[in-house]
Amino acid sequence: MTTVLVTGVGGVLGSLVAGILATQPRMRVIGAGRVAPEQTLADVEVRVCDMSGETLLTMMRASHVDTVVHLDMSGEEEALPYEIPGRGNVYRAIEVLGACHAAGVKRIVMRSSTLVYGARPEAPMFLPETAPLSGGAPAGLLQDYIEIERLVADFKARHPDMRIIMVRCAPVTGNGVRSPVVQFFSRRPAPVLAGFDPRVQVLHTHDAAVALALATLNDQVDGAFNIAAHPPLLLSQAILIAGGQPLPLPALVFQMASFLDPVRSLIGTLPFPIEYLQYACVGDIRHAERELNWEPQRGPDETLRELAADHRQSAWQLTPG
C-alpha cells in the first residue's frame, strides 16, 4: 500500500489530482487543505487543517506517507492582486520540504510554471527543462515560482537521496479555474506591445491533473517536466479565442503607466513582466510525453473557447431581466 498526501485538496486542481490517484489500486490518498473540497471525493481522506509545517509533519508521520504532492499555491485559482507579494507560497514550500525531510518522505511532486524560464530574444523555439531559469520577476506569483525552483534546487543538492519532481504547467484554465495569465487573455481590452506577437501556451485543468498524477505514480522519474497544450498560439490569437480584445500600445505607453493614472487604468495589472509581451516563453513537452507517457487531450483552441463560453454564460446570468 502506497500512501500519498495531496496538499491544497480544497482547490480544483488539488481535488482533481487526489480523485485520480484514489482510483489506483493499493493507493491510500490523504487530502489536506485549509478548506474542504466543494464536492465529496470518493476514497480520499480529507483533513482540514492549518497547513503549518508542524501539522503536516505530524500527519506524515502518523500516516506513514510515502509521497507528497504539493499543490497548495495561492494566486492560481483565486483572484489575488499581482502586486501583493505575500511570500506565503515560498514559506509554505519551505515548510513542506522541511516536513518531508523530517518525516523521511523520499518523493515530492510540486507544481511550477513554464514561465519560470523568462522571455528573452535568444531563447530557442521550444525551451527544454534544462534551460536556465529567469533571473527574477516583480513580486507576485511568477516570482514565487522562480524562488521555489531555486529553493528546490538547493534542497536537492543538500539531500540527493530525495526525489523532487517539478511539474511546470503552462497557464491553466478549465473547471472554473483561470490562472492570472489566462484572465489577462480574456480582458477587453488586453494591452499588448505594438509590433510584437509572441507565441504562448495554455493548459486545461484536466490535462494538468493527469500529468501531476502520472508524475506521482511513476516512482522512477525525477527532475522537471514541461506540461502544455499543443501547439502554441500567437498571443493575439489566444486573446481573441478567449473572448478578449488585443489593444496594441507602444512601449512608451507602458512606461508611462508608472506615473500617469489614466494610463495605469488602461493597462491595468499585468500578470508578468512586459518582456512576455515581446518574446516567447514556450516549453518543450516531449520529455513529459516520453517519460510520463502523458499527452494533452485538449488543444489550446478548445481550452480557450471553453473559457470564452464560461464568460458568456456568466454575462448572461448577470443580465437583468
| pLDDT tens digits for range 16-29 | 999 999 999 999 99
Question: Is the entire prediction scored with pTM above 0.75?
Answer: yes
Does the residue 116 lie in any domain? yes
Please count the structural domains in the chain.
1
Q: What would the mean pLDDT of 202-227 be, rounded to a whole number?
A: 97
Does the residue 318 lie in any domain? no
Does the residue 190 lie in any domain? no
| CATH code for the domain of 24 | 3.40.50.720
Residue 311 has pLDDT above 80, yes or no: no
C-alpha cell at position 311: 464568460
Residue 195 has pLDDT above 70, yes or no: yes
Q: What angle do CA 183, 133, 268 make, to 5 degrees?
A: 25
The pLDDT of residue 24: 97
Q: What is the pLDDT of residues 228-260, one digit of tens each?
A: 999 999 999 999 999 999 999 999 999 998 788
Q: How confident is the prediction for the chain on average, in pLDDT?
A: 92
Does the residue 192 lie in any domain? no
Contact partners, residue 154, CB within 8 Å, separation at least 6 = none
Cβ atoms of residues 96 and 105 within 8 Å: no
Q: Give percent of the chain with pLDDT exceeding 70.
A: 93
The pLDDT of residue 247: 96
The pLDDT of residue 82: 43
Q: What is the pLDDT of residues 48-105, one digit of tens each?
A: 999 999 999 999 999 999 999 999 999 988 755 444 445 689 999 999 999 999 999 9
Q: What is the pLDDT of residues 37-55, one digit of tens each?
A: 998 999 999 999 999 999 9
Q: How far apart are CA 309 and CA 110, in angstroms?
A: 30
Does the residue 63 lie in any domain? yes
Does the residue 216 lie in any domain? yes
Confidence band for 128, pLDDT divided at 50, 70 and 90: very high
The pLDDT of residue 14: 97
Return phi, psi of residue 177, to 5°.
Answer: -90, 135
Does the residue 144 lie in any domain? yes
Q: What domain range is 149 assigned to?
A: 2-176+203-233+282-299
Does the residue 209 lie in any domain? yes
Q: What would the mean pLDDT of 127-134 be, rounded to a whole number?
A: 97
